[in-house]
Structure 1
Amino acid sequence: MDIKLIETFVTVVRNGSSTAAAKVLGISQPAVSLQLAKLEKAVGFELFNRTPSGLVITPEGQRFLPEAISLLQAWKKLHDVREGIRINGLGALTVASHPSAAVSVMPYVADAFARQYPDVKLRLINRMSEEILTHFPGTGVDIAVCELSRDLPGVQVRRIKIRTHVILPLDHPLAAREILTPTDLSGEPFIAMPPERLIAHQVRSAFDEAGALYNPVAEVDYFASICVMVAAGRGISVVDAFSARNFAPLGLHLRPFLPVIPYEIAILSMPNRPHSALHDTYLALLETHLLSEGIQ
């Protein structure tokens, strides 16, 4: 039975005539009459009596009407579900991120994503990189971002190198220089990452190779905390571009650092898992955002 015939029947009853129903449905009055005749033939009884004053619903039609309305409502609900799946995939997405990206990257990507999918539930999880590497792709995570310290067999990995900046308090005299080197920073109080982090090793190596004095006065796990400490005048540092720009309004000068030290992070996803439109859209937005500060 054609659902359009059911829709026509219900519309005629609700609007009182085939002429009014035709206007609502956007078809001609003869087309409405034809569809009613087809429905009556399909169900095997008359739904309306044709009188000089118009259509009058029959007792059979009265009994048929509630079921027709229920069927039409169920069909429309099914249509909405189908469209939601077609457009939004499964309707939810879970993304895990290490702390730096969770603060300085994900909120902006999530905002761009929400503009395209305002009705989709997005869950952002903040985890340490090692925890992400240990549990991905478990715990229902669709996409993850972290520092990559080891290989992950069976996982699709997209490595991205992000530029870094020297960050200085607003009143620091070195802010007068356009580019800073380890020699320029020699002996300056430095807010450092822990030595086991790759970027800390890279910065220390740059100082050593230049014969400059590396002077860490604090070791801090998070770029966000480092930025706040530098803005408060506790020292200087080298952080990723996203953290630097995100916290610049607190009172930071940003300067390029030579030699170039990339901050490498990885996007993780599953190559053999069926992906929804949501997954692919978020992944594309994330890559585009990260590459805006990427270096080759």
Structure 2
Amino acid sequence: MQIKQRHIEVFDAIMAAGSISRAATQLNLSQPAVSIALANLEKFIGFKLFQRDRGFFAPTREALLLQDEMAQGLLVLERITQRVTEIRAGSTGRVRIATNGAMAINFLPSLIAAYQHKHSDVNIDILVRSSRQIADWVSTKQIDIGLIDTPVPVAGLDAKFFNLECVCVMHRDDPISAQKSIAPPDLAGRSVVAITGQHMVDRQLDTLLSAADVTVEKHISSYYFAIARNIIASGGGVAIIDPTNGKADLNDGVVWRPFSPKIYHELALIRGSNQELGKAPAGLYNLIDRSLQSLIGIGNAGDSNE
């Protein structure tokens, strides 16, 4: 036999109430049920806990020695019950998510803040690494969720793909900001901030420029779209970047225009193949999924951010 939650509850109730009848009322149990639970507890521990005197139960010295531990045990059990309820509701736990940078600055932070506001007991770790490193981590279950560039470099992953329509960003004082949209000929001879490492966005732009027989100047490259935008804010030319960074309202003097023909930044939202996420990771995963779907919807808007 082991000391069970019912034993602790009965002990605590009798200590507080001083009688079997009042303890039974407090616990919403019958008096025989309380008496049996107390008898079983005393039999298990090998000593009396209460002296019976005309219906009043006075604690023995041994009961007083156990009182603090019993009370703490009851609090622990109540906390466990509360935690189980929170876990079932997805309001507690830990989520580890990683992205390669494009979405780490002007997309994920607001989503994570919104999610954590509703699930205050959830601990969330956001990491920034290369797409390959993130894919490796997800496949080996070191992290729960990844948001990476395509193609997905590792097998054994479930992936959802999202094509985000890129925009052309420039300083608001740039003459081409007067145009409703930007096309390859508008960039002729201009300084274009590139993305380091022959990024898919740059490859698409190069193809369009070549088809239009347009030459541009590429003297600056950046690993992150957000850094490219900061360069533009300082007067560094123009850039083709993703909509989360391009359309962000940062009051930095940067405006955006649609680019035609369209250039896409393709993302993959990844999780382990055949892996059931816990309540907390699944909740954040679904929030990101819905937000990316919404972003695709607004990605084609033609309004500027002025």
Whether 1:121 and 2:119 are equivalent positions in the alignment is no
Cα offset for 1:10? 0.9
Q: 1:152 to 1:34 in 2, by over 3 A?
A: same
Cα offset for 1:169? 0.2
Whether 1:36 and 2:34 are equivalent positions in the alignment is yes
- 1:240 & 1:122 partners in 2: Cα distance? 25
Partner AA of 1:290 in structure 2 = L
Whether 1:279 and 2:281 are equivalent positions in the alignment is yes
Equivalent residue number for residue 163 of structure 1: 165
User: After superposition, where does 1:58-69 map in structure 2 within 5 Å?
Assistant: 65=67, 68-69=70-71
Q: 1:174 to 1:83 in 2, by over 3 A?
A: same
Note if contact 1:6-1:39 (Cα within 8 Å) is conserved in structure 2. Answer: no
The CA RMSD over aligned residues, in Å, is: 3.2
- 1:64 & 1:251 partners in 2: Cα distance? 69
Greater shift after overlay, 7-16 or 116-125? 7-16
Whether 1:148 and 2:150 are equivalent positions in the alignment is yes
User: After superposition, where does 1:188-227 map in structure 2 within 5 Å?
Assistant: 188-194=190-196, 196-227=198-229
Cα offset for 1:162? 0.9
- 1:242 & 1:59 partners in 2: Cα distance? 68
Note if contact 2:91-2:118 (Cα within 8 Å) is conserved in structure 1. Answer: no
Cα offset for 1:93? 1.7
TM-score, normalised via structure 2 length: 0.80
User: After superposition, where does 1:10-159 map in structure 2 within 5 Å?
Assistant: 10-16=12-18, 25=26, 27=28, 31=29, 33-43=31-41, 47=50, 49-51=52-54, 54-57=56-59, 65=67, 68-69=70-71, 71-88=73-90, 91-138=93-140, 140-159=142-161
Matched positions, count: 291
Equivalent residue number for residue 181 of structure 1: 183
Cα offset for 1:89? 8.7
- 1:109 & 1:293 partners in 2: Cα distance? 13
Given the alignment, which residue of 260, 266, 269 partners 1:267?
A: 269
State the SS of the aligned residue for 1:215.
coil
Per-residue CA distance 1:63-90 (angstroms, 9 max, x = gap): 7756644653453354345345434498
Per-residue CA distance 1:213-263 (angstroms, 9 max, x = gap): 333232222111110111111101111000113364211111111111111
Given the alignment, which residue of 218, 230, 245 partners 1:228?
A: 230
Partner AA of 1:38 in structure 2 = I
TM-score, normalised via structure 1 length: 0.83
Partner AA of 1:257 in structure 2 = F
Per-residue CA distance 1:3-58 (angstroms, 9 max, x = gap): 345314313313556787678x475xxx5745432324434578452537x54345
Q: 1:202 to 1:248 in 2, by over 3 A?
A: farther
- 1:178 & 1:15 partners in 2: Cα distance? 78
User: Which blocks of at least 5 consecutive residues in structure 2 are unaligned?
Assistant: 301-306
- 1:250 & 1:179 partners in 2: Cα distance? 20
Note if contact 2:83-2:92 (Cα within 8 Å) is conserved in structure 1. Answer: no
Per-residue CA distance 1:159-197 (angstroms, 9 max, x = gap): 111121111101112222222222233322211224621
Q: Which protein is richer in helix relative to its size?
A: 1
- 1:139 & 1:46 partners in 2: Cα distance? 50
- 2:235 & 2:63 partners in 1: Cα distance? 82
State the SS of the aligned residue for 1:217.
coil
- 2:269 & 2:92 partners in 1: Cα distance? 21
State the SS of the aligned residue for 1:102.
coil
Cα offset for 1:107? 1.0
- 1:103 & 1:192 partners in 2: Cα distance? 18
Q: 1:10 to 1:32 in 2, by over 3 A?
A: farther
Identity %: 19
- 1:277 & 1:252 partners in 2: Cα distance? 39
User: Which blocks of at least 5 consecutive residues in structure 1 are unaligned?
Assistant: none
Note if contact 1:182-1:206 (Cα within 8 Å) is conserved in structure 2. Answer: yes
Note if contact 2:193-2:219 (Cα within 8 Å) is conserved in structure 1. Answer: yes
